[in-house]
Amino acid sequence: MTDVHSPLINLDPEAQALLFTDARTANTFTDEPVTDEHLHAIHELAKYPPTAANTQPLRILYIRPGDARTRLVAHMSEGNQTKTATAPMVAVLAADTDFHEHIPHVFPIRPQMRDDLADKPEARERMARFNATLQIGYYLLAVRAAGLAAGPMAGFDAAAVDREFFPDSAWKTLLVVNIGRPGENAWFPRLPRLDYTDIVRHA
């Protein structure tokens, strides 16, 4: 277990490892199912971190093995097809460009934002994609917090997935995530991370 050994980190070492330092992208999974209870628990944790104006545009389509999974696999890149076909659960994460319809409920201090954005589809799509991408990070941490492994993938035909699963919809696919218990040889070797001095400047 990797521990960052800093008194400024309030998470205990086991939580650090579960969420960050030992967490990995899983490439194989066991047959153990991911239950509806797991999915609800993930949502109850992932829904709290912030988005702009509390808009929460992330939308999720869960796909268990079956016909719908076969249809999804057909749109995955070749290197991701087997992983997606064999995972006990797959989440298609999308941005809802009609998120503004919920603003009176989720941002009641400024309900007029719904009308302000109604005739601005390009602005809505920018907001939806940016904030849903923020939520994806929270979502992956919530999957890990539930004791599950996640295999996020961008290798797929997003336009084809939209046509397949979200025709005539405001949902726009951003990421596909395989979810389950890690299987045999699930992990690639840990790759290097950039140091603080590689990524930080002070002004």
Write down the CATH number for the domain with range 28-179: 3.40.109.10
If you write DSSP's letter for every residue of 100-134 in order, what string do you get?
GGGHHHH-TT-TTHHHHHHT-HHHHHHHHHHHHHH
pTM flag (> 0.85):
yes
Q: Provide the residue-wise pLDDT of the chain in tens; the chain has 203 residues.
A: 666 678 899 999 999 999 999 999 999 999 999 999 999 999 999 999 999 999 999 999 999 999 999 999 999 999 999 999 999 999 999 999 999 999 999 999 999 999 999 999 999 999 999 999 999 999 999 999 999 999 999 999 999 999 999 999 999 999 999 999 999 999 999 899 999 999 999 99
Spatial distance between the Cα atoms of 92 and 73, rounded to a whole number of angstroms: 12
Instruction: Please state, in angstroms and rounded to a whole number, the distance separating the CA atoms of residues 120 and 77.
Output: 33
CA angle 23, 64, 17 (to 5 degrees): 10
The number of angstroms, rounded, from the C-alpha of 27 to the middle of its chain's C-alpha atoms is 16
- Rounded to whole angstroms, the Cα distance separating 177 from 63 reads 10
**Element (DSSP H or E) covering residue 85:** helix 78-86
Listed by start position, the domains of the chain span 28-179
91-130 residues labelled b (16+ CB within 10 A) or e (exposed): bbbbbbbbbbeebeeebeeeeeebeebeeeeeebbebbee
